[in-house]
Amino acid sequence: MDLFISEFKRQISAKRFILYVLIPIIFAVLWAWFIIGGATADFMQTGCYKEYKGKAAIEIAAKDRNVTAGKMTEDKFQKGRDAFVNALRSDDESDVEITKDLLQYAVYADSLVMQNFQLKNIRGESINGYAKLPENAGKSFYENEDICYEHMMNLKLKNEAEKGLALKMWNEVEKPYTYYGGYEVWSEGAEHIQIFTFILLIIAGFFSSGIIARDKESGLDEIISTTKKGRKNLLCPKLLLPIIMAVLIYTVGMGTYVVILKHYLPADAIQTSAQVFMKTVLPYNLDELMKNMIIFGLVGIITISAFTTFISSISKKTSIAMSIIVLVIISGFILSLMMDESNSIISFINFILPGSVIFSFFNIGVPVVSIFGKAILSFKLSLIISMLLILISLILTSWTYVRRGIKCCFKK
């Protein structure tokens, strides 16, 4: 334990430790301020709340819409349909008279208009006048949802095993959906969890990249290797310190971010069904989706920390290790944006890249893949691979650090 504390003090001074804690907190505050302070509210691009911004926009829109919040029954959808059709002046969905009823049923009307647009595309009909909703559009909302989601599954999935799992997920979705005013800003905050974690990954990678390579640069590693037990005494601190710091960086950063969101945004809004603000077969509400993102982010930052320590063990310069890790993290981010289940090569590279698990929720419309004919949720596969990467990285680091006479893969 004394050796562990001694190594910790050697690796990170009090000033450096405070810096690694403060930077994630500052980023978290700025990120949350950007989301909350820049929030706007609208309906069909009509500019009905254009004089409001930030927390005021969130509160005024939530006040109007919470009148119809809770379970989104088909009766409410029908009332939303009637309020929208009565306010519609032309075929243009934004050409509406803003009434009290319409603002109260805005979420329902918006969902019905988008659903009608999708149905027309599915049936091969002209999308002209899609804002003119059928007479019983509200009464048949969930029946039409089944049609839209089954069509999406048929387009994206390759075999019956994948379709079976996706259909199972869809059938577990709670219907009627649930919504509360303010979910729009919460959903944006949830989307930014993955991007914010991307920044925290780089910070954690920066610390881990020098954990072993810095000793080589200073010549201390050669001195350590000539002692009685060589590098064995320092193996445990070298493996654990980067992981401990990564968890600390993630906890203070993400913790601050979530606490600010919870303080300023409507508490009930996180109970909103995921299907209200995105197309997904996952049976999650906003709260469950965010918790999964945070857990996967924690696994991702531990993975990148362990992998960076391995890269540091085979590098002679901290700058080389850091460059490699930044490249890996950025590659994972780009590939996640390009993620297409039909492109098996991109999918494979994306799954095995360390840290890419944090981007698992970028594309979760129908997140199902199959391995040897067996279907599995893609983010669960990413989680399994990340766990293996952590284990492999720790084993390889132990072997390369302790073993004498190993030739570094990266020369000066």
Q: Which residue has 């974690």 as its token pair?
A: 197
Looking at residues 14-21, what average pLDDT do you find?
90
Residue 151 clears pLDDT 60, i.e. is over it:
yes
- Provide the pLDDT confidence category of residue 199 given band limits of 50, 70 and 90: very high
pLDDT for 90 equals 74
8-12, 113-117, 335-339, 394-398, range with the lowest pLDDT: 8-12
Residue 76 clears pLDDT 50, i.e. is over it:
yes
Sorted by where each begins, the domain ranges of the chain are 2-36+181-402, 63-158
- Provide the pLDDT confidence category of residue 102 given band limits of 50, 70 and 90: confident
- Provide the pLDDT confidence category of residue 47 given band limits of 50, 70 and 90: low
- Provide the pLDDT confidence category of residue 4 given band limits of 50, 70 and 90: low
- Provide the pLDDT confidence category of residue 285 given band limits of 50, 70 and 90: very high
DSSP 157: -
Residue 92 clears pLDDT 90, i.e. is over it:
no
- Provide the pLDDT confidence category of residue 14 given band limits of 50, 70 and 90: confident
Residue 2 clears pLDDT 90, i.e. is over it:
no
98-112, 205-219, 232-246, range with the lowest pLDDT: 205-219
11-25, 94-108, 239-253, 337-351, range with the lowest pLDDT: 337-351
- Provide the pLDDT confidence category of residue 411 given band limits of 50, 70 and 90: very low
pLDDT in tens, 369-385: 988 889 999 999 999 99
172-176, 281-285, 361-365, range with the lowest pLDDT: 361-365
pTM value is 0.87
C-alpha to C-alpha distance for 387 and 155, rounded to whole angstroms: 31
Looking at residues 191-204, what average pLDDT do you find?
94
Token pair belonging to 250: 């993630």
Can you say whether the dihedral through the CA atoms of 334, 339, 345, 347 is positive or negative? positive
- Provide the pLDDT confidence category of residue 404 given band limits of 50, 70 and 90: very low
Residue 406 clears pLDDT 50, i.e. is over it:
no
The alpha-helical segments, DSSP class H, found in 314-376 are 318-338, 344-352
pLDDT for 1 equals 63
92-101, 123-132, 264-273, 357-366, range with the lowest pLDDT: 92-101
Q: Which residue has 């926009």 as its token pair?
A: 57
Residue 221 clears pLDDT 60, i.e. is over it:
no
73 or 61, greater pLDDT = 73
Residue 393 clears pLDDT 60, i.e. is over it:
yes
What percent of the chain clears pLDDT 70, i.e. is strictly above it?
Answer: 87
371 or 402, greater pLDDT = 371
- Nearest one of 324, 298, 300, 310 to 394, comparing CA atoms: 310
CB 84 within 8 A of CB 113: yes
C-alpha to C-alpha distance for 334 and 219, rounded to whole angstroms: 37
Residue 322 clears pLDDT 90, i.e. is over it:
yes
Looking at residues 192-202, what average pLDDT do you find?
95
Average pLDDT, the chain: 86
pLDDT for 412 equals 39
pLDDT for 228 equals 53
Can you say whether the dihedral through the CA atoms of 40, 43, 45, 51 is positive or negative? negative
pLDDT for 154 equals 92
What is the per-residue DSSP string for 229-298?
Answer: TTTHHHHHHHHHHHHHHHHHHHHHHHHHHHHHHHHHS-GGGGGSBHHHHS------BHHHHHHHHHHHHH
pLDDT for 408 equals 40
Looking at residues 286-294, what average pLDDT do you find?
95
